[in-house]
Amino acid sequence: MTLTRDLDSTTAALDPFGADAVMRALPEAQRRSRHHLAAYRAERLSRHAAPARVALRNLA
């Protein structure tokens, strides 16, 4: 590995995975994670609310 005075080449040599690309992808990953969590919670609440809805319907 040869280090040069060029900051971009030094960064590329020291960081082969590309931290810049990772940092740019983080907001999208966070949005997807929040969406997945919200969908999971909604599905779980819906599943647990179904018996209560049936019980209320039977009372009427």
Tens-digit pLDDT profile for residues 30-39: 899 999 999 9
CB 10 within 8 A of CB 3: yes
Distance of alpha carbon 2 from alpha carbon 14, whole angstroms: 10
pLDDT for 17 equals: 67
pTM of the model: 0.47
CB-CB contact of 10 with 1 (8 Å): no
Cα–Cα distance between 7 and 29 in angstroms, integer?
A: 28
Question: What average pLDDT score do residues 26-46 get?
Answer: 90
Q: Domain segments of the chain: what residues?
A: 7-59
- Please tell me the predicted confidence (pLDDT) of residue 16: 64
* pLDDT band, residue 15 (cuts 50/70/90): low
The pLDDT assigned to 43 comes to 92
Determine the Cα–Cα distance for residues 38 and 18; give it in Å rounded to an integer: 30
